[in-house]
Structure 1
Amino acid sequence: MSALVSVLAASLLLGAIARRSGRFPEQTALVLNAFVLNVALPALVLRAVHHLTLAPELLAAAATPWLVFGVSWLFFRTLGPRLGFPPGTVAALVLTGGLSNTAFVGLPLIEGLMGREALQVAVVIDQLGSFLALGTVATLFAARAAAKDTRTGALLKRVAVFPPFVALVAAFLSQPWDWPAWVDVVLGRLGDMLTPLALFSVGFQLRPSGVKGRMRALALGLGYKLALAPLAIALLLWLLPGMSRLTFEVSVLQAAMAPMVTAAILAADHELDPELSALMVGLGIPLSFATVPIVLWLLR
């Protein structure tokens, strides 16, 4: 836990220091975002999904990130315009409020709170839920929200050539075959770069002075992500018969995780209120270290 907090905090802090130092060009975040979306994330998806083992009894848990994203779309598309938020801000809230950091924050945090036996459920939720939702519906939503050409064919083409989606398809198609060990090592090393670089980019874009002017949007976005989303998932799963207590608790905790870093990168890459997206992650991650244990305490 302490190592996780240190890496996350150091990456965010170094990004903020780098911007203030003046030693990094203004395009630094754009370059890092391009690397994350086109190299590190595809490598991570390809390696993780290639080794994925499906467990039918966990499919209900894997569906929860999709539900969180779907409810996020309804929630922010309904309330955002009524609060006077522009379309780019609403889209940024849908992406960062609808996608949970179920991997780099979720997996270590759940292991620390619930033990290693909870990781099997957490990994399935991350890979079949968050990864797939990011590479499909979230990417399609971002493309539609940002694109001037909103024809279905044009949007689907943008999703089809999006590197993480290509990696997702390739990973599923290659599952019947084992690849050489060195390929796994290379993909692992490239994928390991995602968290520090993505958080460095977020820190570089983070403007703490902008919090005051974005309080309504942040309160709405983080209120949904850290409180309303896990509450909705808890109520829904409580109605399902036969789900084990472990699967129930892990599913709710994954829904309660901070906004996904890559969701903020995706929003910034599509010019969907990058400042708010960075604030959602920059504030959401440290807050989640307090709110997730509270959610677990309430469940028990």
Structure 2
Amino acid sequence: MSQLVGVLAASLILGAIARRSGRFPEQTALVLNAYVLNVALPALVLRSVHRLTLVPELLVAAVTPWFVFGGAWLFFRTLGPRLGFTPQTVAALVLTGGLSNTAFVGLPLIEGLMGREGLQVAVVIDQLGSFLALGTVATLFAARAAAKDARPRTLLKKVLGFPPFIALVIAFLLHPWAWPAWVDVVLGRLGDLLTPLALFSVGFQLRFSQVKGRVRALVLGLGYKLALAPLAIALLLLLVPGMSRLTFDVSVLQAAMAPMVTGAILAADHGLDPELSALMVGLGIPLSFATVPCALWLLH
């Protein structure tokens, strides 16, 4: 757990220091975002989904991230305009509040709080839920929110050409076959760069001086992500008969995780209020280290 906190904190802080140092060009975040979305994330998707063991009884848990994203779309699209938020701000809230950091924050936290027996459930939620939602509906939403040309053909072309989506399709097609060990090692090395580079990019874009002017958006976004989303998932899963306590708890905790870093990168890459997206991640991750254990305590 301490290693996780160290990597996350160091990456964010170094990104902020890099911006203030003046030694990095203003386009640094754009370059890192492009690398994350076009190289590191596809590599991670290929490796993770190809190695995934499908467990039918956990498919209900895997659906929960889709409900979190759908709930975010409904929640922010309803309240955002009434609070005077721009369409770009609403879209940024949907992408950051609707996608949970179920991998780099979620998996270590679940292991620390629930033990290794909770990891199987957490991995399925991450890969069949969060990864799939990111590569499909979230990508389509971002493209539509940012596109001047919103014709279905244009949007579909953008989604189908999105490298993580291509990697997702390839991973499922190759799932029945094993590939050489060196391929797995290469993909692992490339995928390992995602978290530090993505958080470095977020740190580079962080402007804590802007928090004062974005309080309403941050309270709404983080309130949904860290509190309302897990509450809604808990109430929803109570309606599912025969679900084990472990699956229930892990599903709720994964819904309570901080905003997904890649969701913020996706928003920034499409020009959807990148400042707010960075603040959602920069504040959401440290807050989640307190709110997720509280959620577990409330469940018991």
TM band (smaller chain) = over 0.9
Name the residue aligned to 2:192.
192
2:42 is equivalent to residue 38 of structure 1: no
Name the residue aligned to 2:236.
236
- Say what the alpha-carbon RMSD is for the aligned residues: 0.3
Q: Distance in 2 between matches of 1:270 and 1:257?
A: 23
Instruction: Give percent identity, aligned residues only.
Output: 87
Q: Distance in 2 between matches of 1:257 and 1:193?
A: 21
- State the Cα distance separating 1:130 from its structure 2 match: 0.1
Q: Distance in 1 between matches of 2:176 and 2:284?
A: 39
Deviations 1:45-97 (A, max 9, x none): 00000111111100100000000000100000000000000000000000000
Runs ≥4 in structure 1, deviation > 2 angstroms?
Answer: none
Q: Distance in 2 between matches of 1:198 and 1:73?
A: 24
Q: Distance in 2 between matches of 1:53 and 1:154?
A: 34
Q: Distance in 2 between matches of 1:241 and 1:176?
A: 32
For residue 202 of structure 1, what is the amino acid of its counterpart? V
- State the Cα distance separating 1:270 from its structure 2 match: 0.1
Which stretches in structure 1 are left out of the alignment for 5+ residues? none
- State the Cα distance separating 1:239 from its structure 2 match: 1.4
- State the Cα distance separating 1:141 from its structure 2 match: 0.2
Please state whether the residue corresponding to 1:104 is helix, strand or coil: coil
Name the residue aligned to 2:95.
95
Q: Distance in 1 between matches of 2:177 and 2:114?
A: 34
Please state whether the residue corresponding to 2:117 is helix, strand or coil: helix
With normalisation by structure 1, the TM-score equals 1.00
Q: Note the 1:194-273 alignment, pairs <5 A.
A: 194-273=194-273
Q: Distance in 2 between matches of 1:74 and 1:20?
A: 38
For residue 83 of structure 2, what is the amino acid of its counterpart? L
Q: Distance in 1 between matches of 2:78 and 2:41?
A: 31
Q: Distance in 2 between matches of 1:28 and 1:259?
A: 22
- State the Cα distance separating 1:185 from its structure 2 match: 0.2
2:106 is equivalent to residue 106 of structure 1: yes
- State the Cα distance separating 1:165 from its structure 2 match: 0.2
Name the residue aligned to 2:281.
281
Name the residue aligned to 2:148.
148
Please state whether the residue corresponding to 1:157 is helix, strand or coil: helix
Aligned residues: 300
Q: Distance in 2 between matches of 1:54 and 1:136?
A: 19
With normalisation by structure 2, the TM-score equals 1.00
Name the residue aligned to 2:162.
162
- State the Cα distance separating 1:214 from its structure 2 match: 0.1
For residue 257 of structure 1, what is the amino acid of its counterpart? M
Q: Note the 1:132-147 alignment, pairs <5 A.
A: 132-147=132-147
Deviations 1:89-148 (A, max 9, x none): 000000000000000000000100110000000000000000000000000000000000
Q: Note the 1:61-140 alignment, pairs <5 A.
A: 61-140=61-140
For residue 264 of structure 1, what is the amino acid of its counterpart? A
Which stretches in structure 2 are left out of the alignment for 5+ residues? none
Please state whether the residue corresponding to 2:195 is helix, strand or coil: helix
Q: Distance in 1 between matches of 2:66 and 2:239?
A: 18
- State the Cα distance separating 1:177 from its structure 2 match: 1.2
Please state whether the residue corresponding to 2:46 is helix, strand or coil: helix
